[in-house]
Amino acid sequence: MGDAPDVRWGRRARRARRFRRSRRGIVSVIGTLLALLVFFALFGVFLTQYVPLWMTDNESAFSAQVAASFALLKSNIDQQYALGGPTVLGTPFTLASQGVPLIAQPTEGTLAFLPTTCPGGFYTKGASGATSANYGQPVNSSFCEFANVTLTTGPGSSGYYTQRVATGILQMLLPNRYYTEQTYFMEDDAVIQVQPNGYQTMDFAPPLNVTKASGNTSVSTTLLQMYGNASTVLGQGTQEVYSHYRFTQVVTSVGTFVSANSSYLPFKFLFQIGTQYPCAWYAYLANIVKYSGIPATSIALSPSTAPTTSACAALNGLTSDITLTVSNVNYASTYFAGVQLSLGEGAV
């Protein structure tokens, strides 16, 4: 008869098989954990390094698109009042940046049109408190965004002439999270870019030209009034801004005719702007003074010193007045134009 099987040997074999299976299980768990750690490490690098760079590029491109839209709108309006049409033109504005799929939401901008009025109106000849020094200026300039052109000799050798408008503002706020926060404003045919801490720059200047040629000084400018219903749009996609051409009046002056020698007496030209963005306007007008070729005794800015960025940041909705004065002018022309702005597809 054969020997009885060794029970202990069977137990040892079963324990060995269980140990081998357990060891393989431990290796699988450790491998999975290591793979997860590598994944989360790479994902953390993606979130902290790559996503901010991606969104910075997206918001930078968004800011450039908005600037291009303001430039196109200004070009469309200039075409309308200079050529007398077309009656309506639409300009598309992108309202949001691109996002990072499943990771970062797009940055949404806010587009708004703010028609402005001047409390108390403007001083006119014969009105209470009006003098030759304040014709065309607002009675209360603290909250009045306006533009004013004054000629000491008006059209047809007439007397003192002044024209003024409450400009209205189209603005777009870009609350960028990764790129620098931007706000764009359009007033009196100028597009201004504003960043935090009072930084302001004139992105697209108005058509204000002062030139001297053959001994004659010429000045040309535009007074653009934008009016309509106050509107605000925010979200994503694209929004059309429609400019409805309403009127253009061209005012010219060559001074007072002197029959004794068949000549015209020179006159004085004043351009005044009431704005919340004096740093941008002052720098622009200072460049005109510097590069116009006009003698320093015949062209000047008021105030005589530039505002600081801290002063511009502290305005908080108040307006500042800046005046460009050109003396001994031989010829001046001003486009006085009006357009109605409306936002949205149903606003055509």
Per-residue model confidence as pLDDT tens for the chain (348 residues): 455 555 555 565 555 555 555 555 566 667 677 676 776 666 666 566 677 888 888 999 999 999 999 999 999 999 999 999 899 999 999 999 988 776 778 999 999 998 877 766 666 666 677 776 666 567 666 667 889 999 999 998 888 898 888 888 999 999 998 899 999 999 999 999 999 888 999 999 999 999 998 889 999 999 999 999 989 998 888 999 999 999 999 999 999 888 888 788 999 999 999 898 999 999 999 999 999 889 989 999 999 999 999 988 888 777 888 999 999 999 999 999 999 999 976 555
Q: What is the pLDDT of residue 93?
A: 96
Cα–Cα distance, 264 to 258 (Å, whole number): 6
b/e string for 235-269 if b means 16 or more Cβ within 10 A? eeeebbbbbbbeebeebebbbbeeeeeeebebbeb
The residues near 26 (Cβ < 8 Å, ≥ 6 apart) are none
Q: What is the pLDDT of residue 118?
A: 72
Asked whether 248 and 148 are in contact (CB, 8 A), the reply is no
Q: What is the pLDDT of residue 39?
A: 63
Distance of CA 226 to the CA centre of its chain: 15
Cα–Cα distance, 182 to 168 (Å, whole number): 20
Q: What is the pLDDT of residue 221?
A: 95
What global pTM score does this model have? 0.82
Residue ranges of domains in the chain: 48-347
